[in-house]
Structure 1
Amino acid sequence: MACIVFLFAALLQPAHADAGFQRWIAQFRSTAMQNGISGATYDRAFRGITAPDPEVLEKARYQPEFRAEAWEYFDNRVQQDAIDTGRRLARQWKPWLDRIEQKFGVSRYVLLAIWSIESNYGEVLKNERVMRSLPRSLATLAYGDKRRAKFARQQLIAALKILQSGDIDVGHLTSSWAGAMGHTQFIPTSYQAYAVDMDGDGRRDIWSSVPDALATAANLLRKNGWQSGETWGYETAALPEGRKFPGGNMALSRWASIGVVRANGKAFPRPSDSAELKLPDGRAGPVFLVTRNFKVIKRYNNSDKYAFAVGLLADELAGYGGLVRDWNRPFQRLTYSETEELQKRLGMLGYYDGPIDGKIGSGSREAIRAFQARSGMQQDGHPGKEVLQRLRGQ
């Protein structure tokens, strides 16, 4: 009877409502209830939602083929603003970071790096253009995106269970378009598996409680095998040209014996640890030996580039310094402040209308190409010193 009432109410929505979407919501209600969701919880989650989110469908359908070069990926994540902000937040949240590190055994700097990369230390959560209703986003994907429908239905059930548990109210149950939630961007099923009430208020609130969010990330890493007190990896010296090296894992002492040594000239502090050779930018870029913790970071996001970004940013936050050998970039890199200046000058000339954030995305690249075309330069879109100097002359 309740389902009939809900369907009838849906049919009485304003004319601009999507009737097919409303039917899907009404029909999925029984599936949710079979999975332990109360009718009251379901109705509360979808109250006022009458149509799919068109931006979610647009983002789901538009998957650009562009794949970032190594230098571009890391320049946007391991940069001075992220380092300065992370160090300031490390001081601000020190008492909680002390407790989290003691409880879970995960480096505070790794947690801060994840926080930075996932949500820009929570700044993304304040952006209404990015964050949206989680029930609506997942229902939109389940209804309108065949590729993600199964995933979206599973995550929607998990999201409704989170709402029903009282950890968060429906007004704050927000996510990215794809359903990633809170400061540390957990999907609902991962939240269910790892969420922690670190601040002791009775709710596992990764949206507004920084201790809960960082502890939840730490719990994920610990439960997936994080080795306390160990690093994620080491930068090594350049490999000799023409020489082949074995794949797979070997003890660091064995790697050193065949000529793979640390870039800073120091000895490996734990020579018996096992490590694997990685060349994320080929032999021309920095080379690494990565340990078990590198693989654990990939349980957060199964990408070598992601794990390297977390590890390298964590090392910068901890004060270990940056790379000895830079990425193999075809231009001279700008500093963070110079990149902001580049964006501002492109904006003043009418080429760019995006955020002044020191990060080079597709909008910045297109603006640079347009300026290069107008200036008779090679149209590569690279944010180099030559482009900035030319802009300063305008």
Structure 2
Amino acid sequence: MRQSTAIRLGKAAVFAILTACCATGSAHAADFSECLASLKPAALAKGVTPETFEGATNGLQPNDVLPFQTNQPEFSTPPWDYMAGLVDDQRIADGKQAYADQAAALQRIGARYGVDPAILVAVWGVESDFGRTFGARPVVQSLATLACYGRKPEFYRGEFVSALLILQRGDVAPERFNGSWAGAFGHTQFMPSTFLRHGVDFEGTGHANIVDSVPDALATTAAYLRASGWQAGAPWGYEVKLPAGYNGPSGRKNRHPAGFWAAKGVTRADSAPLTGPETGLLLLGGPTGPAFLVTRNFDALYTYNAAEVYALAIGVLADRIAGGGPLVGQWPTDDPGLSRIERREVQEKLIAAGFAIGNADGVMGTKTREAIADYQARVGLPRDGRASVKLLQALRAGR
């Protein structure tokens, strides 16, 4: 459900992509307005009024979302880089403050849905940085573009219709209905169809508003996780230590009771006894990296964004927000990933070195990665465009 890192293309490039899409014999007419007209019958059949449809699509033009379909950091980033960027000191501190600010609502939401409040705050932090980054693209425009020219048109047609229904119900004001390239919106970044199924009017305003109401967004996330199989009172998982030379089973769905893992020599990283429900062994960094026994609640987190490293980031961040310590295990790399503050420092130093990458916002976009690669080649580092500790050390040394 979360937004992925943007790749910015010029208008000419986007136009070329759209033209190529339309010229390949798509089921839709080449003209965007004709494509929109073809979507109208299905929208009306789902309850969208003609007035809503025309009001949302009159004069609508495609936007620049198509290139983002191939840029999902959850599947292209080493887990140690991904975790370093999502579970950093800044987000942990912000998460603790957000928890305190929303304590009363979180207590009630946790009691109603049985979901750990720290998990809800972690989702909020990862999805929108606690409301700072909703995404700036109009949801209806993005979904219309993807419905007409995207790689999964049937999926996005349904999301487009759902977005129109949200506008029609008045759950979000049109001028506030902005989100990620894929159409996810609000504090906890829901796709429109998922929001329609699980949206919660927690504050009793008559609308489930996950854009302007933090309690509504947190309650909606709790309702979704409960429907996805979250088991009240159970953890998402916990870090463990493996015996030397471990070669036993692994995989989050290869679950066994605590006694099974204890017999294999697996112990908790915090030295507590192995207890609780059946768990699977998660080894995203291989047998020498951090190891975790994860429950079915981890699977519920996985449904939010189908990547194991995403679910792990949520779980670990929740533990840190609740007062837990850092991971005991070390990722199998001699060049760890960077926090968001460190990534901004990389960008600041690249700008000072004469690289035109735009603002130092901590987002490792195309221009930043290209500049990193050029700098790496200049100083004799592997030219992979990756922001890492060794890169930052070289920049700090003025090499």
TM range (shorter): 0.7 to 0.9
Residue 290 in 1 paired to residue 294 in 2? yes
User: Relative to 1, partners in 2 of residues 1:186 and 1:242: Cα closer, same or farther, differing over 3 Å?
Assistant: closer
Alignment of 1:57-72 (within 5 A): 57-60=66-69, 67-72=76-81
Residue 41 in 1 paired to residue 47 in 2? no
Match of 1:263 among 251, 265, 269: 269
Shift of 1:253: 2.5
| Partner-residue secondary structure (3-state), 1:235 | strand
Letter in 2 for 1:139: A
Could you tell me whether the CA contact under 8 Å between 1:285 and 1:325 is conserved in 2? yes
Which residue in the other structure is 1:212 paired with?
A: 216
Structure 1 residues 246-255 or 67-76, which shifts more?
246-255
Residue 149 in 1 paired to residue 160 in 2? no
Match of 1:56 among 38, 45, 65: 65
| CA displacement 1:255-280 (0-9 Å, x = unmatched) | 11221111222213xx2421111111
Which residue in the other structure is 1:109 paired with?
A: 118
CA distance in 1, matches of 2:301, 2:71: 28
Which structure has the higher relative contact order (CA within 8 Å, separation 6+)?
A: 2
Shift of 1:214: 0.9
CA distance in 2, matches of 1:116, 1:316: 12
CA distance in 2, matches of 1:325, 1:45: 51
Shift of 1:242: 5.5
| CA displacement 1:256-312 (0-9 Å, x = unmatched) | 1221111222213xx242111111110121111111111111121222111101101
Residue 388 in 1 paired to residue 392 in 2? yes
CA distance in 1, matches of 2:74, 2:207: 40
User: Relative to 1, partners in 2 of residues 1:60 and 1:236: Cα closer, same or farther, differing over 3 Å?
Assistant: closer
Alignment of 1:215-254 (within 5 A): 215-241=219-245, 243-245=247-249, 248-254=254-260
Which residue in the other structure is 1:177 paired with?
A: 181
Which residue in the other structure is 1:14 paired with?
A: none
Could you tell me whether the CA contact under 8 Å between 1:238 and 1:286 is conserved in 2? no
Letter in 2 for 1:284: T
User: Relative to 1, partners in 2 of residues 1:378 and 1:61: Cα closer, same or farther, differing over 3 Å?
Assistant: closer
* Identity, % of aligned positions: 38
TM-score by length of 2: 0.85
User: Relative to 1, partners in 2 of residues 1:172 and 1:19: Cα closer, same or farther, differing over 3 Å?
Assistant: farther
Consecutive unaligned residues of structure 2, counting only runs of 5 or more, are 1-28
Which residue in the other structure is 1:4 paired with?
A: none
TM-score by length of 1: 0.86
User: Relative to 1, partners in 2 of residues 1:390 and 1:35: Cα closer, same or farther, differing over 3 Å?
Assistant: closer
Match of 2:162 among 149, 158, 161: 158
User: Relative to 1, partners in 2 of residues 1:95 and 1:62: Cα closer, same or farther, differing over 3 Å?
Assistant: closer
Match of 1:138 among 133, 136, 143: 143
Max radius of gyration: which structure? 1
Alignment of 1:275-286 (within 5 A): 275-286=279-290
Alignment of 1:72-111 (within 5 A): 72-111=81-120
Structure 1 residues 25-34 or 81-90, which shifts more?
25-34
User: Relative to 1, partners in 2 of residues 1:197 and 1:321: Cα closer, same or farther, differing over 3 Å?
Assistant: same
Letter in 2 for 1:256: A
Shift of 1:334: 5.1
| Partner-residue secondary structure (3-state), 1:162 | helix
Structure 1 residues 372-381 or 225-234, which shifts more?
372-381
RMSD of the alignment, in Å? 2.4
Residue 20 in 1 paired to residue 31 in 2? yes
Could you tell me whether the CA contact under 8 Å between 1:138 and 1:156 is conserved in 2? yes
User: Relative to 1, partners in 2 of residues 1:334 and 1:93: Cα closer, same or farther, differing over 3 Å?
Assistant: same
Shift of 1:357: 4.1
Structure 1 residues 341-350 or 288-297, which shifts more?
341-350
CA distance in 1, matches of 2:386, 2:69: 27
User: Relative to 1, partners in 2 of residues 1:299 and 1:386: Cα closer, same or farther, differing over 3 Å?
Assistant: closer
Shift of 1:63: 7.2
Letter in 1 for 2:180: S
Shift of 1:358: 4.4
| Partner-residue secondary structure (3-state), 1:123 | coil
CA distance in 1, matches of 2:376, 2:180: 34
Shift of 1:380: 4.3
Shift of 1:384: 4.1
Shift of 1:103: 1.5
